[in-house]
Amino acid sequence: MPRYRSERGAPRLDRRFGSEYWTIVWYDADKKRMRYRSTGTKSQAEAERALDTFCASLIDSDTPTSRAPIEKRTDAPTLEAVLRSYVSLLRKDAAPSLDQARIAVRHLIGYFGRDADPHQISFDMQQAYVTARLRTGNRRWGGSRPIKPATINRELSVLRAALMAARRAGGIGEFELVGSLGGIEGRTRFLTHEEAESLMKAVDTPRTLHLLVFTRVALASASRPGPVLELKTDQVVVSGDALILHLNPFGRQQTNKKRPVVRIEDPATVALIKEACSRSTSGYLVEWAGKPIKSIKKAFATAMARAGFPDVTPYVLRHTAATWMAQAGVPLWEIADYLGHSDTRMVEKVYAHHHPDHRKKSTDAMTTALSALPTGQTLGLLKKPRTKKAPVPRKVSPHNTADWLADGETSAPQNERNPQVSLGVSVVGVAGIEPATPTMST
């Protein structure tokens, strides 16, 4: 039974138990419950068109999130036809990209209209679309989180790719280029070795064995979350004391996000993978209650919050592995090959600054040049630090008590304070009575 993922609360297609008809399911934020509406059709294509019509009807035409539909020229295909044609070209096994493209199509059609002319989508209209999406975010679907600029960029990229595909096919002519939001930084979060140790302790429990296997394999293979969750036991090949992970399933065609073959030699990781393979009942390496896991985001977020890292997502493990390799001085081309990249452009952009040789020649050249310049101390800008002089030893007379006290002693030593003691002279008589002196009265 197929289910199409969407953002929280957004309408989606589903089939009720025991029924062959497609149903629209969405969350009603006012009544705080799920709602259902039958499309009255068994065809998936007709159901998707009904879903788009339903989504467009939820938008109030008086709000700034919508605008009047663009008039269509008679000789041009509609925007819906262009977008639908592009979605049909996507790989069916690329589920995340396909689902995200479907969501983007619904937002684009809901704003510009189903009968919009692709040639008339100007740059000003694109800016208005961005403003509307930033203003409403996901609140239209009952969500509470604001939309991220990266999400809008993804929607604009779908529009751009659809228009370019239609122009290559001869369906449309020249069109105005689709822009994108700038100033969006990539994900640079990675784990230090101390943080990774705390993370492993957080997932190393009998109840979170699936998290332990996922975390260890994702970190060791530097893979994306999807290939790790889809990794089957027959994709693990024993090679002596090491393991060979064929991240791309046998018979699956590689996409732009290449899944490489990775060699694992860490003894602890090898032992964990072998134990997970022997316990697997579903044929998948990562499983829960004997079934494969489609998404691990929720369980991973709970574990990360318990470990004190609420900003760590499953994708951070891939960034962490690449960062550690760069910090260890691994050549950038080898890191790119380990990650499954066809060239080093992305690695140079994201991870090169972690490499110990990054800009080393430039740094050495500037260090040499700056060392020849006068320093602030030479110009008198800095005060010379005072150097403490070594104390000069004093010759102290053994009979001079003042000299002892001057050197910091609270009192002179006993034999120096009373020289008569060291000379063997007793001041007390045999009977224990002090003898009389001339100044004493008789």
Find the CATH number of the domain harbouring 271. Answer: 1.10.443.10
Look at residue 148 and tell me whether its pLDDT is greater than 90: no
- pLDDT band for 441, please (50, 70, 90 cuts): very low
Q: pTM for the complete prediction?
A: 0.59
Can you tell me the distance from the alpha carbon of 89 to that of 101, in angstroms, rounded to the nearest whole number?
A: 11
Residue 387 corresponds to which tokens in the numbers above?
Answer: 């150097």
* Nearest of 187, 190, 194, 208 to residue 298 by alpha carbon: 208
Q: Which residue has the higher pLDDT, 27 or 50?
A: 50
CA 345 vs. chain centroid, Å, equals: 19
Residues 108 and 244 reside in one and the same domain: no
Is 183 within the bounds of a domain? no
Residue 250, pLDDT above cutoff 90: no
Q: Are residues 137 and 253 part of one domain?
A: no
Q: What is the pLDDT of residue 331?
A: 93
CB 150 within 8 A of CB 128: no
| Rounded CA separation 347/338 (Å) | 11
Q: Kindly state whether residue 30 falls inside one of the protein's structural domains.
A: yes
60-69, 167-176, 349-358: the lowest-pLDDT one = 60-69
Whether residue 435 is predicted with pLDDT greater than 70 in this model: the reply is: no
Q: Is 161 exposed, middle or buried, given 0-12, 13-18 or 19+ CB atoms closer than 10 A?
A: middle
**134, 37 contact by CB (below 8 A):** no
User: Which amino acid would we find at residue 251?
Assistant: G
User: Does residue 34 carry a pLDDT above 90?
Assistant: no
**What does the pLDDT read at residue 328?**
93
With respect to residue 41, please indicate whether it lies within any of the assigned structural domains: yes
Residue 244 φ then ψ, to 5°: -110, 120
Question: CB neighbours (10 Å) of residue 317?
Answer: 28
226 and 136 assigned to the same domain: no
Q: Is the pLDDT of residue 356 over 70?
A: yes
Is 175 a domain residue? no
Q: Check residue 421 and give its pLDDT.
A: 44
Report the distance separating Cα 172 and Cα 333, nearest Å: 40
- CA quadruple 51, 55, 58, 61: dihedral sign: negative
Distance CA 208, CA 199 (A): 12
Cα 28-33-34 angle, rounded to 5 deg:
75
| Region 239-263 average pLDDT | 90
Boundary of a domain, candidates 297, 326, 354: 354
pLDDT score for 286: 94
CB of 347 within 8 A of CB of 322? Answer: yes
Element (H, E) at 130: helix 123-136
| Six-digit token string for 232 | 């089957």
Residue 195: which pLDDT band, with cuts at 50, 70 and 90?
Answer: very high
2-16 pLDDT, tens digit each: 333 344 456 778 887
Asked whether residue 223 falls in the same domain as residue 126, the answer is: no
Indicate whether 122 and 198 sit together in one domain: no
Residue identified by tokens 């663009």 is 70
Convert the pLDDT of each residue in 81-95 to its tens digit. Answer: 899 888 888 766 555
For residue 405, pLDDT over 60 is answered with no
Residue with tokens 């004190």: 308
Strand partners, 36: 25
Of 6-10, 34-38, 335-339, the poorest mean pLDDT is in 6-10
* Residue 403 to residue 149: CA distance in whole angstroms: 81
Question: Do 22 and 140 have their domain in common?
Answer: yes
- Quick one: 292 and 233 in the same domain? yes
Q: 288-300, pLDDT tens digit by residue?
A: 989 999 889 899 9
Percent of the chain with pLDDT over 90: 27
81 and 142 part of one domain:
yes
52-88 per-position pLDDT tens digit: 777 666 544 333 344 444 455 556 788 888 998 888 8
Per-residue pLDDT, 387: 63
Mean pLDDT for 363-384 is 72
H runs (alpha helix) in 182-340: 193-203, 209-221, 225-229, 267-279, 297-307, 316-327, 332-339
206, 319: one domain: yes
Q: What is the pLDDT at residue 184?
A: 55
Q: State the residue range of the domain holding 291.
A: 193-354
Within-domain flag for 289: yes
- Sheet harboring 33-38: ordered strands across? 12-15, 22-28, 33-38
Whether residue 361 lies inside any domain: the answer is no
Rounded to the nearest integer, the mean pLDDT of the chain is 78
Give the model confidence (pLDDT) of 387-397 as tens digits: 666 676 665 55
Instruction: State the helix-helix crossing angle for 267-279 and 209-221, rounded to 10 degrees.
Output: 130
Joined together, the tokens standing for residue 58 give: 């939820």
How many domains would you assign to the chain? 2
Which one of 310, 339, 354 terminates a domain?
354
What pLDDT is recorded for position 168? 85
Q: In this predicted structure, what is the pLDDT of residue 1?
A: 33
CA distance 113 to 417: 108
Q: Stretch 113-127: mean pLDDT, rounded?
A: 84
pLDDT band, very low/low/confident/very high, at 178 (cuts 50, 70, 90):
confident
| Mean pLDDT of all residues in 86-106 | 77
Write down the pLDDT at residue 23: 87
Exposure class string for 90-125: b at 16+ Cβ within 10 A, else e: beeeeeebbbbbbbbbbbbbbbbbbebbbbbbeeeb
Q: Decide: 156 and 180 in contact? Cβ < 8 Å.
A: yes
| pLDDT the model gives residue 307 | 87
3-class DSSP assignment, residue 122: coil
Decide if 32 is inside a domain.
yes
Q: What is the mean predicted confidence (pLDDT) over 295-319?
A: 90
3-state helix, strand, coil in the chain (%, to 5): 45, 10, 45
Q: Residue 149 belongs to what H/E stretch?
A: helix 149-168
For residue 206, the model assigns a pLDDT of 86
pLDDT band at 437 (very low <50, low <70, confident <90, very high): low
CA distance 307 to 195: 9
- Let me know whether 161 and 18 are in one domain: yes
Same domain, 145 and 211: no
Nearest to 326 by CA among 348, 308, 304: 348
Q: Is residue 202 part of a domain?
A: yes
